[in-house]
Amino acid sequence: MNPKIERAIYIGIIVVLAGYLLVLGKQQLELKKKLPVTIEELYNMLSNPKLNLQIIDVRPYEVDEEEEDEAEEIDYYTGAHIPGSIPFPDCDESKTPEEALKQINPYLPTIIVSKDGDPEIFKKCAQKFPFARNLAGGIEAWDEEGYPEEEGEYEPPSAGGGGGCL
């Protein structure tokens, strides 16, 4: 067989296989996006300092003056939240503290945390994060399992910090 024809056949096979792998990779991402992350999975992910992951908390950041008397019933970011999480209320830049906006990276693997794992808010946020997954049960499930929490206003990580957040 002519070496040029043989080379063309091999290149054609490689191109077809590469295309097939791209399609499979995209399908895998879409399937992963549909499967929520369990509380235990998230805890294990956060315990791994080699894993680059961001936690986006979509609950309201502050208590409105009108809602102060209802504050005990509503979970807010400034109350208990997952260590290292970034507030991004309703996935709306206008409601987010400026120092938190600087930390948000839409291209990192992202876990969306709502009060109870609401699929509607996840769907809205997933449009902004191509590698997003929902936390099953939200912060309520995290709290019920007794995993570590932080309280207070958002503070960006210090420069040069390292390791896991747990």
Q: What is the pLDDT along the chain (166 residues), one digit of tens a residue?
A: 788 999 999 999 999 999 999 999 888 877 777 789 999 999 999 988 898 899 999 999 875 555 445 544 455 788 889 999 999 999 999 999 999 999 999 999 999 999 999 999 999 999 999 889 999 999 999 999 999 999 888 888 765 444 445 5
Q: Which residues pair with 81 in a beta bridge?
A: 150
CB 137 within 8 A of CB 113: no
Which distant-in-sequence residues (6+ apart) come within 8 Å of 62 by Cβ?
A: 76, 78
Question: For the whole model, what pTM was predicted?
Answer: 0.74
| 134 vs 56: CA distance, rounded Å | 10
Task: Name the DSSP class of 36.
Answer: P
Helix (H, G, I), strand (E, B), or coil: what is residue 115?
coil
| 1 vs 164: CA distance, rounded Å | 57
